[in-house]
Structure 1
Amino acid sequence: MFRVLPTLTLTLTAGLAAALLPAAAAADPVTVQSCNREVVFDAPPQRAVSNDVNLTEMMLALKLQDRMVGYSGVSGWKTLDEKLRAGVKELPELSPKYPSKEVLLGADADFYFAGWNYGMKVGGEVTPETLAPFGIKVYELTESCVHIMEKDKASMEDMYADLLNLGAIFDVRERAEALVAGYKADLADFTAKLGAKAEPVRVFVYDSGEDQVFTSGRYGIPTAMIEAAGGRNIVDDVEASWVKIGWEAVVERNPEVIVIVNYGQVTAAQKRAFMMKNPAFKDIEAVKNDRFVTLEYVEATPGPRNIGAIKRLGAAFHPEMF
């Protein structure tokens, strides 16, 4: 009997230690800045939903498919190219445009990666506040924060911040840090080749519209991309991210290059033809010299394809340098 007691004691002690291990090893809560909010995550999300192609590609770049239950906001405006289609594989598109609260609840989502005018509208039914009672936490795209708070001019750091914050939220920090470090090194190498001698060219972003034009202003990521590529957005003084303006301002500021964003029912070729054939634009240098460059929507919005797009822009702005 006296030999049994120590064995029993050891067994109980080992069992007690095993019971305590999970609590001791549990990850500490993670706090990230999302626009003007601090959001606390007690554990990585397991049933995430992303809205729009560029935000979905951020999730895919971090290899978070297994933490997702679907995506939204693609087929209502755009199409999935082969790269993105291969990435999402079996994930369903929960809504062709912005998802409703019921759609997110029906998917049993615990996380929504979206932005203002990227899946959420100010005062709309789907916001961080309306989803909170249902246990759905929201991380907001940094570029979009200007819709609800004061923000600095667009920077590539906005996109990097989103990837790093997602890395923290989903406990894949090293993966996110390596990805961002690679993007930064790639961009630094390109800008070194571009050189300081390149005089910035005047650039206009033509997203859509004929009576008025929808373009990207001071707070849109194209402004940061254009600057990194050796250009200057002619409307970088407009206090907006994406905004409608009159064509008169475009004619007056006379861009040397026009960047067309390709998506939707009106193709890039049709947008170019509209400008080339309209007598009102005949004196614009970009039109006279037929200097247009096309970016896909997923390249012109914050996401993993921005760096490759900057290189293409740089080659179009300064062909003599390449």
Structure 2
Amino acid sequence: MWRPLSGVVLTAALLTSCGGGDGANGSDDASTERGGGKGGSPVSLENCDGEKVAFEAPPSKIVTSNAAGLEILLRLGVGSKVIGTGFPPAKGALPDDLANQAAEVPVLGRTVIPKEKLLGSGADAYIETFRPARGAHVGPRPQEFRAAGIQVVQLRSTACAAGQTGPREDLSAVTEDIERLGTLTGASSRAREIVAGMKKTLDTVGERVDSVPEEKRPTYFVFDFDAGTKELTAVCGKQVANAVITLAGARNVFRDCDADYKKTGWEDVVDKNPDWIQLAVRNRGSEAANEKAFDEAERFLKSFPATRGLTAVRKDRLLRIRSERTSTPGVANAEAVEQIARTLYPDKFEDVR
């Protein structure tokens, strides 16, 4: 299932559309990788709709729409290029070394960055994790970005998800995003190191769960607690989380819906009666606050008449995994694959710490 791009394959694949490679081209510039931020080769990228985005040199002033793009850039070692972010990472969301760097990045918006702040930020690149739904005029329009001298670079694993064909069953789109941002910022060698680390984790899991027949794999439901308990938001086959679930050796009960997300009701979940349920809550800023939110989600499932009889609830098969680790692109996706697989198949990991 794993299909990482090597440095050679990356060059050939970078100009393909959403359904294929990662849509960027360029080459490493040593001075940029050392943090110089100026000079370097021209870089060309392709967004979800095929729009070409070209830079004469790696951008040196970057704004990220949320913590996902910010974390990738920090892991690439180019945090000094980031001049602002929206949806900043909550306390405890990042390892200490990255958290300290993230704390130095100006917060332009606790949620969506106000249009005026974004356009006036002085950025030359804006990393967009999720693009607005069709017809929703949230944030600047393309012509406003152009007038401000800002080029939009989309994380294709999430921004392009709704337009892809078929369910997402591996993390190649995520690793391609990491390599694209590496190419964009002149940090390709570091990007390849990150991808290699993710591959090692996924290979370890694959060696243990790939032999499990499809029909014997447990069913799995992502309970997005923060999205509401009356009308549910189901994670469908085109979302990154579906790949995480699949690689971990489980079957997403909503994998067949032709979207990244869809609204549904409890009657649909009850009908599917999942073997395992992920209590997906967004980071609250501390371990204690997160545990409190997980507790609330669990209490709801165990007290709500429609859900307390579900197999996963009766057997306490409830995984506490934050939403961001499965639904937004990054290194945490591979870590979540291992966490889920170890929980579902503990006997297969007895020889691995």
Report the TM-score when normalising by structure 2. Answer: 0.77
Please state how far the C-alpha of 1:227 moved relative to its aligned partner.
0.4
- Matching residue's letter, 1:67: K
Matched, 1:55 2:55: no
Number of residue equivalences: 296
1:116 and 1:147 in contact (8 A); partners too? no
Matched, 1:235 2:291: no
Find the counterpart in structure 2 of residue 3 from structure 1: none
Matched, 1:30 2:47: no
- Tell me the distance in 1 between the aligned counterparts of 2:134 and 2:127: 10
Segments of structure 1 that go 5 or more residues without pairing to the other structure are: 1-25
Matched, 1:247 2:269: no
1:47 and 1:111 in contact (8 A); partners too? yes
Matched, 1:295 2:310: no
Find the counterpart in structure 1 of residue 221 from structure 2: 204
Please state how far the C-alpha of 1:27 moved relative to its aligned partner.
3.9
Matched, 1:170 2:185: yes
Find the counterpart in structure 2 of residue 21 from structure 1: none
3-state SS of the aligned residue for 1:63? coil
- Tell me the distance in 1 between the aligned counterparts of 2:139 and 2:125: 16
Matched, 1:190 2:190: no
Which of 145, 151, 160 is the matching residue for 2:175?
160
Find the counterpart in structure 2 of residue 285 from structure 1: 311
Computing the radius of gyration from Cα coordinates, the structure with the larger value is 1
- Tell me the distance in 2 between the aligned counterparts of 1:313 and 1:121: 37
Find the counterpart in structure 1 of residue 28 from structure 2: none
Change in Cα spacing, 1:120 to 1:163, as seen in structure 2 (3 Å) is: farther
- Matching residue's letter, 2:247: A
Matched, 1:312 2:331: no
- Tell me the distance in 1 between the aligned counterparts of 2:147 and 2:104: 29
CA offsets, 1:1-48, max 9 Å, x none?
xxxxxxxxxxxxxxxxxxxxxxxxx64422122212221121111110
Please state how far the C-alpha of 1:195 moved relative to its aligned partner.
4.5
Find the counterpart in structure 1 of residue 117 from structure 2: 103
2:61 and 2:81 in contact (8 A); partners too? yes
Segments of structure 2 that go 5 or more residues without pairing to the other structure are: 1-38, 285-291
- Matching residue's letter, 1:29: P
3-state SS of the aligned residue for 1:116? coil
- Tell me the distance in 2 between the aligned counterparts of 1:207 and 1:148: 18
Report the TM-score when normalising by structure 1. Answer: 0.84
- Tell me the distance in 1 between the aligned counterparts of 2:236 and 2:42: 37
Deviates more, 1:285-294 or 1:151-160: 151-160
Please state how far the C-alpha of 1:118 moved relative to its aligned partner.
7.7
- Matching residue's letter, 2:258: E
- Tell me the distance in 2 between the aligned counterparts of 1:305 and 1:118: 24
Please state how far the C-alpha of 1:88 moved relative to its aligned partner.
1.1
Change in Cα spacing, 1:98 to 1:150, as seen in structure 2 (3 Å) is: same
Find the counterpart in structure 2 of residue 9 from structure 1: none
- Matching residue's letter, 2:145: L
3-state SS of the aligned residue for 1:181? helix
Find the counterpart in structure 2 of residue 4 from structure 1: none
CA offsets, 1:58-100, max 9 Å, x none?
111111111111211137xx55535252231321111111112
1:108-123 counterparts in 2 under 5 A?
108-116=122-130, 122-123=136-137
Change in Cα spacing, 1:62 to 1:74, as seen in structure 2 (3 Å) is: same
